[in-house]
A and B are shown apart, each in its own frame.
Chain A
Amino acid sequence: MLNNDIDNLTEPSLLNWQTQFGLSIQNNKECTVSKQSRFSIYKNNVFHSLIEALSAQFPVCRQLVGEDFFKGCAQVYLSNKLPDRADLILIGESFSDFLKDFTHSKKIPYLAQVANLEYTRAKSLHSEDLDCITHEDLSTMDITVLQQQTLIFHPSVFLIQSDFNIFSIWKGHQPNQKMQKSVINTKQNTLIFRDEFRVACIEIDQALFTCLNFWINGQSLIKGIQNTIEVFPEFNPTQVIEFTFSNPLITAVK
């Protein structure tokens, strides 16, 4: 049965053999451990499956550049760096950075930021399950104590500030949606969090972004509000507290 030693008469160590095998898959070079044409099946399997995984992780990026361009990008990205972990649920951690510097995608300057939004959504989806403080819980708390406390955000909560209107771009490429605005070189703020089993993606104004950012970075409830009002005098703290505790954003106060 499988006894034909047809390729390697020198019998290198297993580590060396696997390293050569791996390099031959990753680089588009002739395989040094096997001259058999069927070696290409392994190479195809590796790249096809990983490109499919990237494609599933970055569906809007794929739509923006088209199937062929996306596959080409993904092939170059993977040839430079294969995943370092076997679970593919968070594949593409550095894909956004890659797109930022990739010569052929520089014509689409917002692409890397859309990739960042899509990857952040994946992180949010798979983050830890923790109960959140509800509006009802809030009503039982001593407000004088609460305002001096810091808010602990749910691990699914992320804030993204982008140079382009990437939230609009992302939303416009969801099923049954159309782009409401054209791509513009203007800042947009996105709040991402998990609500039950779906990831919510919401555009928020600069004042809310600023306040949430102060809180995420450890400022007390009252300090975060005061510092936001300094920058945005029209800021309405009641509305922000209402919004924050109406959504599953806060797991604890301390």
Chain B
Amino acid sequence: MTTSKLPTKSGIGLKPQHYEQILKQQPDIAWFEIHPENYFGNGGPAHHFLTKIAQDYPISMHGVGLSLGSANGLNKTHLKRLKKLVDRYQPAVFSEHLAWCENNNQYFNDLLPLPYNEESLEIFIKNVLDTQDTLKRSILIENPSIYIQTPNQMSEIEFLNELIKKTDCGLLLDINNVYVSAFNLGFNPQDYLDHFPTHAVQEIHLAGHSDKVLDKQPVKIDDHGSVVCNDVWQLYEHFINKHGAISTQIEWDSNTPELNIWLDEAKKSDFIINNTLNKKAVLC
């Protein structure tokens, strides 16, 4: 299996409200990421613009609906649609989540948590292998944002390590998700990152989150609706300095801003990436 790589620079998400501006202005951004489910239609403007933009920029596909953690297996129709799209656009990377979102043919449109145990690991491994076999490429799996403790027999890191070993998949490290889960579940995000299987990381996600209070307890919600917070930038900078530059996407899925604001946010991660690459060049 082969996986083409994204440029080791920053990318942003591709949204319909920015299609025409991107084609007209050709902004200085290394790549775009899409949710493939938004392109499951047979035709129309979404495909027209994606086809044009994919001629100028590498595309990463970040699935949100495959439900790799579903105990009743993969949705064959969904996988077939995904295969058609991957074959058509040949994205540099395809990623999905360590989560589930479908059960008994009902789709929840949220990334729901998995209990980490032998049974869920076996199921997840089978679903990843089936996906990779169908798409004829290795995929990346993203660590989730979590709000509740699930009945676990192993840690998320142990789960991911086993998954990599058995499927040869890569990882998408979402540092905002680490920060959100760490706050909500009470662990140290730096400790998590120190134990993360970094050798498998091929892409990083950064995003904003919101702060709420529930039953008088503060909680962080992963809503991708604002700029990346300072704490997450610090974790990111530390990670990149320690492990080297990695393709990074700034996610923004709600309250999507004007294109220039989003591009400015991506310049911040590019600055950190470039600093690391420059230091490496000096050392060489």
Contacts and interface: CB of A to CB of B under 8 A. Distances in A.
Interface in A181-235: 194, 197
Contacts of B110: 42, 45-46, 49
Interface in A9-29: 9, 11, 13-15, 17-19, 21-22, 25-26
Interface stretch (A31-39, A104-112, A136-144): A31-39
B101 interface: yes
Interface in B182-222: 184-185, 187, 191-192, 214-215, 217, 219, 221
Contacts of A21: 103, 112
B67 A36 contact: no
A13 B119 CA distance: 8
Nearest to B117: A11
B265 interface: no
A95 B267 CA distance: 43
Contact of B152 (A4, A13, A18): A4
Interface stretch (A67-75, A80-88, A168-176, A244-252): A80-88
B147 interface: yes
B44 A126 contact: yes
A86 B43 contact: no
Nearest to B104: A19
Contact of A14 (B101, B104, B123): B123
Nearest to A198: B45
Contact of B147 (A42, A53, A84, A125): A42
Contacts of A9: 151
Interface string B152-165: 11111100000000
A84 B106 contact: yes
Contact of A88 (B37, B106, B156): B37
B41 interface: yes
Interface stretch (B69-77, B128-136, B276-284): B69-77
Given A7-B151, A18-B70, A37-B214, A126 B104 contact: no
Nearest to B70: A18
Contacts of A125: 41, 44-45
Contacts of A49: 109-110
A37 B215 contact: yes
A17 B117 CA distance: 12
A74 B114 CA distance: 28
Give the one of A9, A50, A86 with max B CB within 10 A: A86
Contact of A87 (B81, B184, B192): B81
Interface string A114-130: 00000000000111111
A142 to B, nearest CB: 31
B233 interface: no
Nearest to B223: A45
Contacts of B72: 15
Contacts of A22: 103-104, 106, 108
A14 B146 CA distance: 18
B227 interface: no
B72 to A, nearest CB: 6
Contacts of B105: 84
A86 B103 contact: no
Contacts of A197: 44-45, 48
Contacts of B46: 89, 126
Interface in A35-72: 36-42, 45-46, 49-50, 53
B148 interface: yes
A237 interface: no
A145 B106 CA distance: 50
Contacts of A25: 108
Interface in B111-128: 112, 114-117, 119-120, 123
A13 B109 contact: no
B148 A34 contact: yes
Given A15-B72, A19-B103, A197-B44, A39 B148 contact: yes
Nearest 10 CB-CB pairings of A with B = A86-B65, A126-B41, A129-B43, A15-B71, A87-B40, A197-B45, A128-B42, A14-B71, A87-B37, A8-B151
Given A15-B71, A197-B48, 13 more contacts: A22-B108, A34-B149, A42-B148, A82-B106, A82-B108, A85-B75, A86-B101, A88-B37, A126-B46, A130-B43, A155-B42, A194-B44, A197-B45
